Amino acid sequence: MSFIRNILKNSRAHKDGNFFLLLNDILGYKVKNKSLYIKAFTHRSMNIKDKDGNAINYERLEFVGDAMLGAVIASYLFEEVPHGDEGYLTKMRSKIVSREHLNELGKELNLIELVESKIPKANFGNNIHGNLFEALVGAIYLDKGYKYCEQFIHKRVIKPHVDIETLEGRVISYKSLLIEWCQKEKKTFDYNVYEDTGNDDLKHFSVKLSIDEKVISKARATSKKKAEEKASKRAFFAFQKEISRAF
């Protein structure tokens, strides 16, 4: 357990005792296995390893948390929506545990304030919030078991944020929806993506989205994926009536 003592010794958050006080407020109980929660908020940039050379960071706990979120949400939807078939339930679960929603949950709990990293917090991408939320869920499950994990997910995810009717109308990916509509309506589409050589510090990508050889929308973002999604969202609103009729 020497790696835990080293983190506690070198961490400002742990030195002043705020780490576990803040965790107790978030969880509603006193943590049992402290090492799990320290791992859940240790970024890989800390480059810490255990005595066997295994990396100590939150990434493996993310895997567990992702599985637990999926299981609890699936169980909830199965009971709550008895008429939903497998496809419907899968789509609804995807909406609840989407990366965008998990990022919102992590921000809501201000989890980034607990992370230990050699990278300045301002330099993290948006997904750090959802990653930490998943890691926390994984730590809860391994520390307290399924019952406590389920209670936490119901308290922090389902009760405040899950409304079936609202979710039914929520779009996860505008790009996927637009492509599905184009294929259904036998329309051609093309995402013309190119590197943007603007004056920004970060590299950007621009995209022109054409449908039936006509440019419908343009967008710009720090990744190809984000630029395509932004362009797809703008095209969706341009064809919203037609798409709604098709589905």
pLDDT for res 54: 92
CATH number of residue 83's parent domain: 1.10.1520.10
Would residue 134 show up in a list of annotated catalytic residues for this protein? yes
pLDDT for res 76: 96
pLDDT for res 87: 83
Count of structural domains, the chain: 2
pLDDT for res 5: 55
164 and 179 in a single domain? The answer is no
**Which token pair is 84?**
């939903």
Q: Which of 109, 137, 168 is the last residue of a domain?
A: 168
Name all contacts of 197-206 with Cβ < 8 Å and 24+ positions apart.
none
Q: Give phi and psi for 116, each to the nearest 5.
A: -105, 125
Q: Which of 121, 149, 168 is the last residue of a domain?
A: 168
186 and 79 in a single domain? The answer is no
* pTM (2 d.p.): 0.71
51 and 100 in a single domain? The answer is yes
159 and 194 in a single domain? The answer is no
160 and 178 in a single domain? The answer is no
**Which token pair is 237?**
């609103």
The active-site residue, picked from 62, 66, 150, 228, is 66
pLDDT in tens, the chain (247 residues): 555 555 555 554 454 468 888 899 999 988 889 999 999 999 999 999 988 999 999 999 999 999 999 999 999 999 999 988 898 898 889 889 988 899 999 999 999 999 999 999 888 989 999 999 999 999 999 999 999 999 999 999 999 999 888 887 777 788 988 998 999 999 999 999 988 776 667 788 999 999 999 999 999 988 899 999 899 999 998 998 888 887 6
Q: Which of 146, 168, 190 is the last residue of a domain?
A: 168
184 and 117 in a single domain? The answer is no
Would residue 66 show up in a list of annotated catalytic residues for this protein? yes
114 and 69 in a single domain? The answer is yes
The Cα 134–Cα 208 span in angstroms is 34
pLDDT for res 15: 44
The active-site residue, picked from 62, 116, 134, 150, is 134
CATH number of residue 186's parent domain: 3.30.160.20
Domain with 231, as residue range(s), is 174-246
180 and 154 in a single domain? The answer is no
Contact 124, 107 (CB under 8 A): no
pLDDT for res 16: 45
pLDDT for res 172: 74
> DSSP letters of 136-167?
HHHHHHHHH-HHHHHHHHIIIIIHHH--HHHH
pLDDT for res 173: 82
The rounded Cα 193 to chain-centroid distance in angstroms is 25
